[in-house]
Chains A and B, each alone.
Chain A
Amino acid sequence: MTGEQIVFLVVAFFTLAAGFMVVTTRNLVHAALWLVAALFGVAVTYVTLHANFLAVVQVVVYIGAIAILFIFAVMLTRRDMRDQGPQMNKNWWLGALLAVLTFGGLYFLLQGWEGMTKTATSYPVSFDAISELGSALVSPVGYVLPFEVASVLLVAALVGAVYVAFNPRNGDTRK
């Protein structure tokens, strides 16, 4: 076993364990912090795949912004941090079935894919992943359309959030 495989196994186990803790712990802030741990594990997985940019963006966006907002929301809305109710509802078997089916389907699909057994060729020395990614995102033959559509979606979400939060009676100072 190579060092990289050992690192991957440790990180994968850590990520899954943290993910399991997210859904089983009763303390909501602990759940949010375990979520941070799981997201950090995903970031380390990106590093082992030589995707440094994605790893850092994962930390900035998911840990720096989204997890912090989760913690804020939990702290500001709940008086009691402990979840008292039952942790399962009636549909638990449906969720379990869907999870098993998804896993089985992915396993079946990836079994048939020849990339599964092939070792990836290593990058050439001068390969700059981040500039490749940058030009792919804005080139017409690359991903410019999905990129722009995602931007428009985000702007729409932003405008929607402002509209929902905006109270014309005391928010608008221009009247």
Chain B
Amino acid sequence: MSFWNDPLKVAADWLLGVFTGWGMPELAANILIGFLGILILISLLMVLDIGLVWVERKVVARFQDRIGPNRLGPFGLIQPFADIIKLMIKEDITPAGADKVIYNIAPMLSMMSVLILWAVVPLAPAILGVDLNIGVLYIIAAGSIGTLSIIMAGWASNNKFALIGAFRQVAVMISFEVPMLATMLIPTILAGSMGTAAIVEKQDIWYVLLAPLGALIFLIAAIAELGRAPFDLAEGESELVSGYNIEYSGMKFGMFYAGELLHAFTFGGFWAILFFGGYRFFGLEKVSPFLAIAVILFKAFIGYWLIMWVRYTLLRIRIDHMLAFNWKFLTPLAFTLIMVTALMNALLAGAPAWLYIAGMFLSNIVVAWGALEIARFYSRRERERIEGKQVVAAGH
């Protein structure tokens, strides 16, 4: 077993040899190696996060027909580091009447809720933090800690705009969690496991072909969960200034901001893991684990880019429209889709591959078409009702 085939195990074995050579007991050495692994993963993620600031600013600039940061270094690459220095030397303000302890814990919890997600991201066949057999639920649980951090930030700031922003954001997050969990169950049904590693391993056919509608609903719910446009009413500038993080300054604001960017990238990664084969790409993952890592990062960046594309193209939706869209359209659709997927999966269990793929794909299309027809019927009736009222009002 060479380093290039299984780098994690080789490095861990080597470190274990070094530490026990120093006279450390094996248990302590293993715990220390675990901590080192976590430290390295988190450090790499934070470095990636700095890069994401640059990516986000460059991409939004392109979408808005600007150039973006271009003064510091080639292509403005040094700009995010300058931003970090600025954030670090800014005055750290705690507003009067703020609940100090909660106010300071909230940004940490927000960042943590994103970082702990990476414990279940399978980067390559043997490279993942922990192979939880409940990976899908773990993702939702980490999201609920993020929800908690937002409400803590909003309440502890002692600012009405922050509080209203937090209320809106939490209302969105806890309602869009429902269709999100429901669509995450579709890969679970198809793979027969809730573990992220098993879901990737079972994806000989990308699940986006078997559940295109599920992939779409997951993306919509993920964008809402991230609080990005068109669902970014928590930070509606004209109404709420900046939402739940309005009172935060310096690096504490930086933690919310960096956490949001990394969260978007992470959900790009989960989209790839659940529906686009994760680190698998035509057998490339078998060549080298490093190639597999490159593949999943590439796919995650594509997902992230799509989320940015949506964010900078669409307008903000009103909160009642958004909640109605979730509860009256997305949630029933997601539940219908789970039932249809489970049923078709059981019916076509013994069918040849082409029939299986075609059946699953067509069933998704039929469900989507039916949902759109029902939505169109109701919206037409609603429009006629409102227009009828206007005619009556005009007649008087």
Q: Which residues of A contact B (CB under 8 A)?
A: 3, 29-30, 33, 36, 52-53, 56-57, 59-60, 63-65, 67-68, 71-72, 75, 128-130, 173
Query: With a CB–CB cut-off of 8 A, which chain A residues contact B177?
Result: 64
Which B residues from 123 to 139 make CB contacts under 8 A with A? 132-134, 137-138
- The answer to whether the Cβ of B385 comes within 8 Å of any Cβ in the partner chain is yes
Query: With a CB–CB cut-off of 8 A, which chain A residues contact B27?
Result: 3
Q: Mark B72-102, 1 if CB is under 8 A from A, else 0.
A: 0000000000000000000000000001001
Q: Mark B97-130, 1 if CB is under 8 A from A, else 0.
A: 0010010000000000000000000000000000
Contact of B145 among A33, A57, A63, A129 (CB under 8 A): A63
Query: With a CB–CB cut-off of 8 A, which chain B residues contact A60?
Result: 137, 140-141, 144
Q: For the complex of A and B, list the 9 residue pairs with the smallest distance between their C-beta atoms, beginning with the closest.
A: A64-B144, A59-B141, A56-B137, A56-B141, A60-B141, A56-B134, A60-B140, A53-B134, A130-B133
- The answer to whether the Cβ of B199 comes within 8 Å of any Cβ in the partner chain is no
Asked if A59 contacts B155 (CB within 8 A), the reply is no
Q: List 14 A-B contacts (CB under 8 A).
A: A29-B99, A29-B155, A53-B137, A56-B138, A59-B141, A59-B145, A60-B140, A64-B174, A68-B151, A72-B151, A128-B133, A129-B133, A130-B194, A173-B385
Asked if B102 contacts A33 (CB within 8 A), the reply is yes
Query: With a CB–CB cut-off of 8 A, which chain A residues contact B140?
Result: 60, 64
Which B residues from 342 to 396 make CB contacts under 8 A with A? 382, 385
Say how far B178's CB is from chain A's closest CB, in angstroms. Answer: 10
Nearest-neighbor residue (CB-CB) of B195 within chain A: A130
Say how far A69's CB is from chain B's closest CB, in angstroms. Answer: 8
Docked pose: A56 CA to B137 CA in angstroms: 7
From B140, B148, B382, name the one whose CB has the most chain A CB atoms within 10 angstroms: B148
Query: With a CB–CB cut-off of 8 A, which chain B residues contact A128?
Result: 133
Interface size class of B (residues with CB under 8 A): 20 to 34
Nearest-neighbor residue (CB-CB) of A71 within chain B: B151
Asked if B102 contacts A65 (CB within 8 A), the reply is no
- The answer to whether the Cβ of B266 comes within 8 Å of any Cβ in the partner chain is no
Docked pose: A72 CA to B138 CA in angstroms: 24
Asked if B170 contacts A64 (CB within 8 A), the reply is no
Asked if A68 contacts B137 (CB within 8 A), the reply is no
Asked if B151 contacts A52 (CB within 8 A), the reply is no
Docked pose: A63 CA to B142 CA in angstroms: 10
Docked pose: A3 CA to B34 CA in angstroms: 16
Query: With a CB–CB cut-off of 8 A, which chain B residues contact A68?
Result: 144, 147-148, 151, 170, 174
Query: With a CB–CB cut-off of 8 A, which chain A residues contact B148?
Result: 36, 63-64, 67-68
Query: With a CB–CB cut-off of 8 A, which chain A residues contact B144?
Result: 59-60, 63-65, 68
